[in-house]
Amino acid sequence: MSIRKSERLFKNAQKYIPGGVNSPVRAFKSVGGTPVFMKKAKGAYLYDADGNKYIDYIASWGPMILGHAFPPVVKAIRKYANLSTSYGTPTELEVKMARLITEMVPNVDLVRMVSSGTEACMSAIRLARGYTGRNKIIKFEGHYHGHADSFLVKAGSGVATFDIQQVPGVTPGVYADTLVAVYNDTEGVSELVRRHKGEIAAIIVEPVAGNMGCVLPKPGFLEHLRQLCTDEDIVLIFDEVMTGFRLAAGGAQEKLGIDADLVTYGKVIGGGLPVGAFGGRKKIMQHIAPLGSVYQAGTLSGNPLAMIAGYTVLSELRKHPEIFEELNQKTAYLRNGIDEVLSKTGRDYRINRFGSMISIHFSSEDINDFSSASRSDIPLFNKMFHYLLERGIYLPPSAYESWFLNNAINYADLDETIGKIADFCKSEL
């Protein structure tokens, strides 16, 4: 496989863009080698600048749940682009979008649209602070809630991939207000709340974590957080940027049967355009400006092209809820196939999966939190990543990321993937 054009593009990109990329993990810094520059994609396949084809397991890091260039989305964007790409005024489309979201997800009376997952989480935290009159928040090690200052403490995703312990530019005051607990450690988080009684505005959690690979909540953990927040008047925020409209129409709240006080969305909600949202019960959401004085705004929030792309995807998911089960079955098939292949190698490994989120850790211990994830054999993951990339399988370029299935993927694609992992095991392990 030649990637000469990608190599040329990357060299040129580095002259004009920091590190040649607009988001750090794309640079392949942790897996090594040259990032592949994509030119187009259709359904389950990516095509790079040199014309190589890949089966896509990142789905643009989640949004492309129905596959790339999904015809109804493309058609709708075209139609709306002809009317204008932005107004800066209210539009009927925003009302339809907000109504659809409130009908699909539990516990959301009011929803505010933003342009990224970062904005959604950052705004939800401000709202929780404004609502409770408290300053501190609790997040979990290895969880990623975007790149706002408050979240860059023991964060997952690129922060973990590049092992950045402290981010220059984040002030000590901000760090002091972010307390970090261990995911799945009920006693640890209770102790933190006890020590800071009356000071905690919010606990923010990825209900199913996806930024240290895929890591599932232990039975009872999220229920414990729910009870703790209720008892201590703390706002429980589910960051459903990854899980929203992916695990079920109503996201992790619906799938796991746990109610959050505020929920944040991104990725699938925008159908591949830059969209995020946060919402919750009126009691809390009414504190947002202009109803209340917790200020939050955006020139391009509710942008018509972004809204119609998201609205089209969400409508499709609502009309065809069987998509979630199809995705679940495909991912289970992939999991079982990989398990069969790896079990013959004598290597230690763990495969974590929830719905259409999945990841492999080469490890002899169960992966329940960030420290277990970070003790896994990351060089071996990187080796597998490159072996597969060179054979047309595109995994996330980091062991600290969940893979996302899209529903355009078919069983032949899954068999091909499993077969190539088997080849990797035979030739490299």
Which positions are catalytic?
A: 144, 239, 267
- Cα distances from 110 to residues 15, 39, 314, 377, in angstroms, run 44, 38, 17, 44
- According to the binding rule CB under 6 A, does residue 157 interact with ligand PMP? yes
What is the x/- site pattern for ligand PMP, positions 51-90, by CB under 6 A?
Answer: ----------x-----------------------------
- According to the binding rule CB under 6 A, does residue 45 interact with ligand PMP? no
- The residue range among 12-20, 113-121, 171-179, 247-255 that interacts with ligand PMP, by the rule CB under 6 A, is 113-121
- According to the binding rule CB under 6 A, does residue 94 interact with ligand PMP? no
How far apart (Å, rounded) are the C-alpha atoms in residues 374 and 312?
38
Out of 24, 117, 271, 304, the only residue in the binding site for ligand PMP (CB under 6 A) is 117
Structure tokens of 376? Answer: 């896994």
Task: Please give the residues from 234 up to 273 whose contact with ligand PMP meets the rule CB under 6 A.
Answer: 239, 241-242, 266
89-92 contacts, C-beta under 8 A, 24 or more apart: 90/302, 91/302, 91/304, 91/307
Residue 287: CA atoms inside 13 Å, Cβ hemisphere, count?
A: 17
What is the x/- site pattern for ligand PMP, positions 290-329, by CB under 6 A?
Answer: ----------------------------------------
**Residue 123 CB, nearest approach to ligand PMP (Å):** 12
How far apart (Å, rounded) are the C-alpha atoms in residues 375 and 69?
38
**Smaller CB separation from ligand PMP, 129 or 139:** 139
Those residues whose C-beta lies under 8 Å from the C-beta of residue 22, and which sit 6 or more positions away, are: none
- According to the binding rule CB under 6 A, does residue 213 interact with ligand PMP? no
- Cα 156 to the chain's mean position, in Å? 11
- According to the binding rule CB under 6 A, does residue 403 interact with ligand PMP? no
**Residue 381 CB, nearest approach to ligand PMP (Å):** 18
Q: How many residues bind ligand PMP (CB under 6 A)?
A: 17
**Smaller CB separation from ligand PMP, 31 or 342:** 31
- According to the binding rule CB under 6 A, does residue 211 interact with ligand PMP? yes
The DSSP call for residue 151 is G
Backbone angles phi, psi at 282, to 5 degrees: -55, -40
Question: How does 272-296 read in b/e, with b if 16+ C-beta sit within 10 Å?
Answer: bbbbbbbbbeeebbebbeeeeebeb
Radius of gyration of the chain (CA): 21
Q: Give the binding site for ligand PMP (CB under 6 A).
A: 61, 116-118, 121, 144-146, 157, 206, 210-211, 239, 241-242, 266, 276
